[in-house]
Amino acid sequence: MILSVVKVLGHAFFVMAVGLLFMGVGRRFSARFHRRYGPPVWQSYIDVIKCFSRKSISHHWIMDMGSVMGLAGLVAASMFLPVGRYLPFQSTGPIIVILYLMPIGYLGMAMGVSASGNPLASIGIGRALTLMLGYEVPFATIVLCMIAAFNSTSLVSLGQAQQAGFLSWNIITMPFGFVAGIIALQAMLAEKPFDTMIAPSEIASGPMVELSGKFLGLAFLQHSVGIFVETGLIVTLFLGGGPGVGFFILKQFLVYMLSLAINAIFARYRVEQATKFLWFTAGGLAFIQLVINMYLRSGTI
Amino acid sequence: MMKLCPGILNTGMFGAVVFPYAVGIFSLIILKRWKRLQWAFFFLSTLFQLFAAYSLFRSGNFGSGISQKFPFALSPIPGLGQSALFFQFTGLGFIFFAGSTIVTLIISIFSLAFNDRDHATGVAPLWTILMGANAGIFFAGDWLSFLISWEVMGWTSFLIIAHGREDSRKAALYYYILSLIGSSAMLAGIFIGVSGSGSMAIADSVRYFSGLWGTRNSLVVLSTLFFTVAFFAKSAVFPFYMWPSLAHAEAPDDFSSFLSGVMIKYGVFGLIAVVLPIYRAGYVGPAVHGVPLYLAVLGWFGVITAVLGTLYAIKQDDMKKLMAYSTVSNIGLIIAALSMNSSLGIAAALFHTFNHMVFKGGIFLSLASVKYRTGEREMHKLGGMAYRMPLSFFTFLICIIAAAGIPPMSGFASKWMIYQALFEKKMLIMAIPAFFASTGSFLYLYRGLHTIYLGQLSNRFAKIKEAPAPMAFAMLIMMFTVMLGGFFPGLVLSPVNSIFTGMGFAHISQDLFSIQGVTTSIRLTSIGTIFMGSFFIVGFLYLIGKKREHVEQLDTYTSGEMPEEWGLTEEKYHYGMHFYEPLEVTIEPFLKGTSMDSLFRRIGYETGKLSGTVKRWFNTPQLGTLVLLIVVVLLVVVLGR
């Protein structure tokens, strides 16, 4: 009992730490695209610690509760994601549970910033949810592709199904699905061209506009856990998971760098353009993969 | 009465149907002056029904489908052997009866306080009668008692929705005309079944139709189509998805909760009880992935309904209309699951039906208490209610988490099962719109949360108070039921499993804490625990951070000023109108293209022309309509032979 509590606690902090490290390296990586030096890789840790040690303002206790709920949802989702083969507690890594636990994080965040009463924050949330309706279509279709191929939604067994070597990875066997997945991931991470909900120059960072001190710190941590879970999903679904924790994190890192590279060279879509693109282009690619998997592919696990 | 029908089953069913009728008529005639007493009687009669449900539960044998004769038989009808009215105790009917009674009892506690001098609607006697009809529908063993209950239900709900107001009358009429279309279709189906089987019993008709596979397929499909139209019209499935937005919005606020929670499920019950058994063993005909073609089409109608309901809900500014469309969307998902006609599908449909009763009931109660205090229905005029009505806010929050299908609340488990039912039959393409509808629900539910309860509190409502104690109590019960269903799915699924024996289905594998699907299994209690654990971890982080300072909402962004010379007020500062405008613009052409309104208007116009012609022939409107009806009915019977 105590051991499992310690494991869960440790896993939560491990996930946050890895996510923050990704963010730190990512900032330096993006800086190189812009021909600057960029901050040191540990800058994100400094930022979070600083945020938590400064005075903050809140408009209502619902704002506090929402911020806590926001991070809690994503931390809970990360508990079900097998890192390599490691899970903090016994589960099958049910992907639909993860897909539905992540929204509680976004809902909590949305509730918190709504309680601040700032219209810019609400506009940002409105855009974020619209975008969610966009990327959920290709991503759900990818999950269905996996069911068509392996009749499983358990991340553990989906990872095991790709252990036969590089050629058995789903990136090779399901190329259309992978492209759709990368597009959906870009939208999930709110990187360009899908960063309309943050849009600093337009709606003053949207949801973050009223956050200060530890509330901003919690938002930072939420983003870091989000990076971990979302890249982790792509790695498990398409890149063979990983035999070990180290390999898994390396693959996650590569996926995140890919996402940042796309971010560095694209401009921003308007939200309805982004949604349409996600529905029709990404969704279409995933749908082609689904039809291939359902009718042309033979053999299951 | 005890002498006439010995045995608890009989007394229970008989009492559950007749007692509310008696109380309703009594309070309609005798208690005309004492409005409050009428509501107390409504509460007592529902309490009695719950007691009846409990005694049925104690004595009942879910599997056997025992039937009991009504104390008074009809005189024999020539050509029909079995001509008595009788009740039938089935597990399915019992589950629906128990669920609806529990939810109605909670609503009736709410109504006790809601109907005070300023808000009274005087619909209590009718609602009491409606509860009798409610039991009658679920226990009917023959077509005649089913039809009587169905019509009583239709009439009473029509009168309640209208409740003597001009704008409500139109909505009620729309609702009633659709019900009428449904009833006529059902009548046609019943005629075919009764004339074929030679018996009034529902079970005999079902047996008759199932026996016709391979010889007269088109007749079976035609008759099931008649029944399906009736049940679709009642449950607001495409193409009848428009009526809830009118009827639910215009009905009395506490009745909306019942309408959306309980009444819309009659179609689901009818489909499971009448249509699905026909397409089981012995089915001969085309199939898609092992699902009969007809049912696969039904499933597609379900997901189309789910998507359309979601898209319309996203557009609404009226909070009751928004939730009415949300109900339509949920019904669509239920239809999709049950049309898989597997034990997993039916279990998912029943589980979601029950969960939806509770969480949508809770949502409407919460909205009713907001309207009770403010009198506003348009969302953009509200805002910030959470700061004044925290309990209503919490009820709404917990219930929308369930409605969005987010763990650890009850809606997640049932939505997960709906997906599993689709996966089991490899209906993967059908699952895409289902996922879409489910994600879309985050959009409209969040909009409700933000626009009604969060954001800026208008000065007009700065002094309002929390809902009165009985209303708050009713909402609390709803909230806890939702949580309980999320942590312990077995509480609902075990009874569902136990009725499967009588229905000829395999059991689904589940226990109190977990459900086994086809692609994976989930343990809901551990999901809930993990979420709570994460909440504590993050709460700890929050506590170690430096203390926060409370600042008034307007003190940051507008620097404490509210420049009214710019025309800015708290109300306008609240971002609520056209919340998803970019999305609305995107989906507008699609909604225009699929709108059934213009089709119905066209049909209405043509019918008007036709009946005008007929009227001129006979010169009296009554005779014309009567003859038209007789001709239609005769035509159907003759064709059915």
- Tell me, yes or no, whether A89 lies in a domain: yes
Do the chains contact at B548 and A110, CB–CB below 8 Å? no
Mean pLDDT score, A75-95: 85
Q: Report the 10 Å Cβ neighbour count for B299.
A: 27
Is it the case that residue B62 has pLDDT exceeding 70? no
User: Tokens standing for B446?
Assistant: 């969040």
**What local confidence, expressed as pLDDT, does residue A37 receive?**
87
How many angstroms away from the CA of B246 is the closest CA of chain A? 26
Considering only residues B225 and B281, tell me which one the structure prediction assigns the higher pLDDT.
B225
User: Tokens standing for B551?
Assistant: 């600042």
Q: How many residues does chain B have?
A: 641
> With bands split at pLDDT 50, 70 and 90, how would you rate the model's confidence at B567?
low
B522: three-class secondary structure by DSSP = strand
Question: Which ranges in A87-212 belong to alpha helices (H)?
Answer: 95-115, 119-150, 155-160, 170-173, 175-188, 200-203
Mean pLDDT score, B271-300: 85
Q: With contacts defined as CB-CB under 8 Å, which chain A residues touch B521? A: 92, 94
Q: Report the 10 Å Cβ neighbour count for B181.
A: 15
Contact A49, A205 (CB under 8 A): no
**B409-464: per-residue pLDDT in tens?**
888 888 988 998 888 888 888 899 999 998 888 889 998 888 888 877 877 787 88
User: Tokens standing for B582?
Assistant: 């970019």
Q: With contacts defined as CB-CB under 8 Å, which chain B residues touch A294? A: 426, 428-429
Amino acid at B614: V
Is it the case that residue B568 has pLDDT exceeding 80? no
Mean pLDDT score, A152-161: 84
Do the chains contact at B442 and A103, CB–CB below 8 Å? yes
**B488-499: per-residue pLDDT in tens?**
888 888 888 878
Select from B505, B249, B455 the least CA-distant residue to B368: B249
User: Tokens standing for B73?
Assistant: 């038989």
- Tell me, yes or no, whether A229 lies in a domain: yes
How many angstroms away from the CA of B322 is the closest CA of chain A? 16
**A197-227: per-residue pLDDT in tens?**
777 777 777 787 778 888 889 998 999 999 9
The chain-wide mean pLDDT, for chain A, equals: 86
H/E stretch holding A241: none
How many angstroms away from the CA of A32 is the closest CA of chain B? 33
Q: With contacts defined as CB-CB under 8 Å, which chain A residues touch B533? A: 5, 8, 76
Is it the case that residue B542 has pLDDT exceeding 90? no
- Tell me, yes or no, whether A59 lies in a domain: yes
Residue A50 domain boundaries: 2-296
**What local confidence, expressed as pLDDT, does residue B334 receive?**
92
H/E stretch holding B67: strand B66-69
User: Tokens standing for A112?
Assistant: 């918190």
Do the chains contact at B550 and A75, CB–CB below 8 Å? no
Mean pLDDT score, A128-137: 89
Nearest chain B residue to A153 by CA: give it. B519
Is it the case that residue B2 has pLDDT exceeding 60? no
Is it the case that residue B75 has pLDDT exceeding 70? no
Residue A174, sorted as left (phi over 0), alpha (psi -120 to 50) or beta, turns out to be beta
**B116-152: per-residue pLDDT in tens?**
777 777 788 888 898 989 988 988 888 888 888 898 8
The answer to whether A254 faces chain B, any CB pair under 8 Å, is no
Select from A261, A246, A285 the least CA-distant residue to A189: A261
The chain-wide mean pLDDT, for chain B, equals: 82
The answer to whether B483 faces chain A, any CB pair under 8 Å, is no
Mean pLDDT score, A68-97: 86
- Tell me, yes or no, whether A301 lies in a domain: no
Q: In angstroms, rounded to a whole number, what is the distance separating the alpha carbons of residues B521 and B519?
A: 7
Do the chains contact at A272 and B539, CB–CB below 8 Å? no
**What local confidence, expressed as pLDDT, does residue B63 receive?**
52
**What local confidence, expressed as pLDDT, does residue B84 receive?**
62
**What local confidence, expressed as pLDDT, does residue B81 receive?**
52
Q: In angstroms, rounded to a whole number, what is the distance separating the alpha carbons of residues A25 and B602?
A: 63
- Tell me, yes or no, whether A55 lies in a domain: yes
Considering only residues B16 and B101, tell me which one the structure prediction assigns the higher pLDDT.
B101
> With bands split at pLDDT 50, 70 and 90, how would you rate the model's confidence at B4?
very low
**What local confidence, expressed as pLDDT, does residue A141 receive?**
92
Mean pLDDT score, B64-81: 50
> With bands split at pLDDT 50, 70 and 90, how would you rate the model's confidence at B1?
very low
* Triad B177, B180, B183: Cα angle to 5°: 160
Mean pLDDT score, B300-312: 91
- Measured between alpha carbons, how far is residue B67 from residues A300, B56, B291, B307, B475 in Å? 48, 13, 31, 40, 37
- Tell me, yes or no, whether A10 lies in a domain: yes
How many angstroms away from the CA of B430 is the closest CA of chain A? 10
- Tell me, yes or no, whether A36 lies in a domain: yes
**What local confidence, expressed as pLDDT, does residue B333 receive?**
92
Instruction: List Cβ neighbours of B382 (8 Å cut-off, separation of 6 or more).
Output: B319, B370, B374, B376, B451, B452, B458, B461, B576
Contact A30, A264 (CB under 8 A): yes
Is it the case that residue B5 has pLDDT exceeding 70? no
When mean pLDDT is compared across A45-49, B22-26, B166-170, B309-313, the lowest value belongs to B166-170
**What local confidence, expressed as pLDDT, does residue A301 receive?**
41
**B154-175: per-residue pLDDT in tens?**
888 888 888 777 777 888 888 8
How many angstroms away from the CA of A286 is the closest CA of chain B? 11
Nearest chain B residue to A49 by CA: give it. B545
> With bands split at pLDDT 50, 70 and 90, how would you rate the model's confidence at B557?
low
Percent of chain B at pLDDT > 90 equals: 7
How many angstroms away from the CA of B420 is the closest CA of chain A? 10
Give the predicted TM-score (pTM) of the model.
Answer: 0.89
Do the chains contact at B443 and A133, CB–CB below 8 Å? yes
Is it the case that residue A300 has pLDDT exceeding 50? no
Contact B175, B243 (CB under 8 A): yes
Q: How many CB pairs under 8 A join A and B?
A: 234
Domains of chain A: total: 1
**A16-62: per-residue pLDDT in tens?**
999 999 999 999 988 988 888 889 989 999 999 998 888 888 888 88
Q: With contacts defined as CB-CB under 8 Å, which chain B residues touch A15? A: none
Do the chains contact at B407 and A100, CB–CB below 8 Å? yes
- Tell me, yes or no, whether A49 lies in a domain: yes
Omega of the bond prior to A138 within 30 degrees of 0, cis? Answer: no
Window 78-117 of B, Cβ < 8 Å to A: none
Q: With contacts defined as CB-CB under 8 Å, which chain B residues touch A149? A: none
**What local confidence, expressed as pLDDT, does residue A1 receive?**
77
**What local confidence, expressed as pLDDT, does residue B26 receive?**
85
